[in-house]
Structure 1
Amino acid sequence: MAKIILIGANHKTAPVALREKLSFSSEETIAALEILKQDKDIKESLIFSTCNRTEILYIPEKGDQVDKIIEFISRQKKIDISEFKSSLYVYKEDEAILHLFKVASSLDSMVVGEPQILGQVKQAYRVAVSNNASGVLLNRMMHKTFNIAKKVRKETGIGDNAVSISYAATELANKIFSDLSQKSVMLLGAGEMAELAVEHLISNNVRQIIVANRTFKKAVDLAGKFNGKAVKFEEREDTLQDVDIIISSTGATDYVLTETQVKKAMKKRHHNTLFFIDIAVPRDIDPKINNISNAYVYDIDDLKNIVESNIEQRGKETVKAERYIEEAVVKFRKWLESLAIVPTIKALNEKMSSIVDIECKKTLSNLKHLSQEDINAIKRMTQAIATRTIHDPILFLRNTGDHRDDSLYLNVTRQLFNIDKSEKE
């Protein structure tokens, strides 16, 4: 039976500095999938990389290939294995399926119930499909993943008052300033995270929202939705003197604001408090800015306290969601086992057909007086006997029971009919 294996590191096992090093950009993901696709030991693969996690889901051709995938990560990210191996988790079979279902259903997120994770999982799957890296097994598994994630969101309260990293960031801003109605906010980046942050900020009646983005049109579009103001990305340093909070979520690989830039801005703003929330991985904001008087930088890992209180509130709904997920894992396992049943049934059919065909030919070779019509009738009869003989065994194999160890019955069937030996012959 095909194995399912998942290797990864997330916010629970690795600090943000390490997650940055392990993170795959869109281009890196496509290049990595191409390498895995060419590997004869890997049948199917998918790479999922977000702010809080990097995970590789794959189906090996043989063995588990765990060491090979760890070496692959080391090569692709140019990081020594000793730096990250202790932060990795390795899930196999049902554990891998369970983990994926939990991730997509937002039970494994830093903020339980956050809505954007399912979209990110779908995007990772789209990339795998468009690059021909996934196959029958992962395709089926991912569709089951989307189904269970939708069920969890629809039938539990886990998504009520949906919180996210952006929401947690706004809560943190609220605690620092107590009243956001007199404060101005600059968003660096105009993606989904930024848009969610805007929605939460508006509910807190912030005075002004300024959006800076490398693609100016996107900044204009986002600012337009909320009566905000768009500025060019190059104007971000000058804009620091007019705002109180900066929420950054760009896809940049280097810092978009440095200690030197903020020092200059602080002089112009007479050292009034400036609050940075960095929700990007890799980080956007230079952590050295914390050394400047009245400048405060918080990254994703600093949001954990707010997040933990949300997890506690959602405890009951989480239990219900986990029950749905565990049921879905059992159902998917039954489907996987049915894949193993099909080759056995096929081999059983072929063996019986082969036996009757050989015996029928022997018998007919001594009955030269028969007409072609009689010969065909005898052939049909012998094939019908073969089909009827194995009808019940096949029915038994197909109708798997809930508490039955199908692998045991498959093994017995193959031994009873000596299938493995006949296949080798």
Structure 2
Amino acid sequence: MHILLIGLNYRTAPVEIRERFAFNDEDKPRAISMLLNTKSVLEGVVLGTCNRTEIYAVVDQLHTGRHFIKAFLSQWFDVPREDFIDHIYIKENDHAVRHLFRVACGLDSMVLGETQILGQVKDAFQLAQEHKASGTVFNTLFKQAITLAKRAQSETDINKNAVSTSYAAIELGKKVFGYFNDKTVLVLGAGKMSELTAKHLHANGAANVIVANRTYERAVALAEKFRGSAYPMERLTDGLIEADIVISSTGADGYVVTKHEIASIMRKRRNRTLFMIDIAVPRDLDPAINELEGVYLYDIDDLEGIVQSNLKERELEAEKIGIMIGQELYAFKSWLNTLGVVPLITTLREKLLNHQQEAMRNIQNKCADLTEKEIRMINKQTRSLINQIMHDPIVRIKEMAGQPGSEEALNMFIKLFALEDMLEDGGQQADAREESYIPVLHRRVVTGQ
């Protein structure tokens, strides 16, 4: 039994490849069913986001698992294997588990420490559970990954510092205003960055949005997204008087707003604080504006400086999470290593109890004058003796299961107590080519048989 991950993401595949491997939400149940019916796959979880597609699987053998999951991807998305083979990554066992932990914690995301991925991991796991694709191994692994990610968010500052220019603008604005309630935002130009920053400001409480643009129709289209107002450039002065926050990105060759103009406007505003963000290159806003009292002007370099500083802070927090991941990986490995012990202990107990019951029948046949009370006492004492006999071997095999060479130890345990026939008679015949009984034991645990 092995844990296998095959996937592609924003690091390994360009968007034109990733979009060919995007799972439709409505089709995911059918995809999970098809994956579970794929040869070698015992459990499966499908994780699909805009930046990654990953197949997590518990497989009986690694080489067949790799082959048939690649075939599944090729068949499901109708893409020849040679078109994507160079863009996928394959991680096995410990490496696959560590990768899942990093993904859930946001350490493998395009934006370090982002939290949206945790919800996507939870949804993928829940869908697998609903369709009986997640069993003993993944039920434990994914619950552990989700719990770890929640701890990472609550016990570290991984997501407290802005690491995008639009969020950096929000962070700066909060330092100036404290909050954005009842604030008016003037968007000068209709560029994507201006729109994104305005969107975040609006989401953080900015009440009114005004858009001024040379092409009035584009101003109207953007303003409608925020239920705001559109001004032609001829009314720019009016917008500057009304606004508390200005976001500028016009693509103009020279300054769109000068220090002299803002100085005149500030008198009309009665020196009410003005927060200005210049995202344009070349700059729209005269840098000398920053010399005016009551005006806070920031350009793209200021925002990038904040982003880089915050990114370093997140990287320090990511190191803390890395330690947590190491601890959780060890805990999962310890649990997984003892997984094969469970059916061994059950089988040994069953064998010894069969002998005990046979002995009780012989005692009753030879000692017909025993009372019910005496029979119960003998039965109790012989069962107690069996438990005492089993105690030390069980403790030792559990210890050995967590150490290197555990498979050899488990096989030796089987041979010492002559459990081979009972394991096979349980309906899980070992492959004639397999010398080890451990894959059989793991299949019994995974499938619940």
Tell me what 1:183 maps to.
188
Query: Distance between the aligned counterparts of 2:407 and 2:61, measured in 1?
Result: 18
For the Cα contact (< 8 Å) 1:111–1:307, is it kept in 2?
no
Query: Residue 97 of structure 1: CA displacement?
Result: 1.0
Give 3-state SS (helix, strand or coil) of 1:314's partner: helix
Query: Distance between the aligned counterparts of 2:322 and 2:204, measured in 1?
Result: 39
- Aligned ranges 1:248-263 → 2 under 5 Å: none
Q: 1:384 to 1:313 in 2, by over 3 A?
A: closer
Query: Distance between the aligned counterparts of 1:422 and 1:8, measured in 2?
Result: 39
Query: Distance between the aligned counterparts of 1:239 and 1:149, measured in 2?
Result: 45
1:153 aligns with 2:146: no
More displaced stretch, 44-53 vs 93-102: 44-53
What do you get for the CA RMSD once the two structures are aligned? Answer: 4.1
For the Cα contact (< 8 Å) 1:244–1:273, is it kept in 2?
no
For the Cα contact (< 8 Å) 2:38–2:69, is it kept in 1?
no
Query: Residue 240 of structure 1: CA displacement?
Result: 3.3
Query: Distance between the aligned counterparts of 2:149 and 2:114, measured in 1?
Result: 12
Query: Residue 75 of structure 1: CA displacement?
Result: 1.5
Q: 1:169 to 1:223 in 2, by over 3 A?
A: closer
For the Cα contact (< 8 Å) 2:158–2:318, is it kept in 1?
yes
Query: Residue 8 of structure 1: CA displacement?
Result: 0.4
TM-score (norm 1): 0.65
Tell me what 2:208 maps to.
227
For the Cα contact (< 8 Å) 2:43–2:57, is it kept in 1?
yes
Query: Residue 68 of structure 1: CA displacement?
Result: 1.1
Q: 1:11 to 1:384 in 2, by over 3 A?
A: same
Query: Residue 324 of structure 1: CA displacement?
Result: 0.7
For the Cα contact (< 8 Å) 1:114–1:162, is it kept in 2?
no
Tell me what 2:285 maps to.
none
- Aligned ranges 1:4-403 → 2 under 5 Å: 4-39=3-38, 41-60=40-59, 64-163=64-163, 167=167, 182-185=187-190, 198=198, 200=200, 202=201, 226-228=207-209, 239-240=217-218, 273=251, 311-362=311-362, 364-365=364-365, 367=366, 369-373=368-372, 374-398=374-398
TM-score (norm 2): 0.62
Give 3-state SS (helix, strand or coil) of 1:55's partner: strand
Q: Which has the larger radius of gyration?
A: 2
For the Cα contact (< 8 Å) 1:74–1:80, is it kept in 2?
yes
Query: Distance between the aligned counterparts of 1:199 and 1:347, measured in 2?
Result: 62
Give 3-state SS (helix, strand or coil) of 1:56's partner: strand
* 1:142 partner letter: F
Q: 1:99 to 1:226 in 2, by over 3 A?
A: farther
The runs of 5 or more residues in structure 2 that have no matched partner are 172-184, 226-249, 253-281, 283-305, 426-449
Q: 1:166 to 1:142 in 2, by over 3 A?
A: farther
Query: Residue 156 of structure 1: CA displacement?
Result: 2.5
Give 3-state SS (helix, strand or coil) of 1:395's partner: helix
Query: Residue 243 of structure 1: CA displacement?
Result: 7.0
Query: Distance between the aligned counterparts of 1:198 and 1:90, measured in 2?
Result: 40
Query: Residue 148 of structure 1: CA displacement?
Result: 1.0
Tell me what 2:178 maps to.
none
For the Cα contact (< 8 Å) 2:161–2:310, is it kept in 1?
no
Query: Residue 397 of structure 1: CA displacement?
Result: 3.7
Query: Distance between the aligned counterparts of 1:152 and 1:5, measured in 2?
Result: 24
Give 3-state SS (helix, strand or coil) of 1:111's partner: coil
Tell me what 2:293 maps to.
none
Query: Residue 394 of structure 1: CA displacement?
Result: 2.0
Query: Residue 13 of structure 1: CA displacement?
Result: 0.8
Deviations 1:41-81 (A, max 9, x none): 43322211112111111223555522111111112112111
How many equivalent residue pairs? 332
Query: Distance between the aligned counterparts of 1:198 and 1:49, measured in 2?
Result: 29
Q: 1:321 to 1:224 in 2, by over 3 A?
A: closer
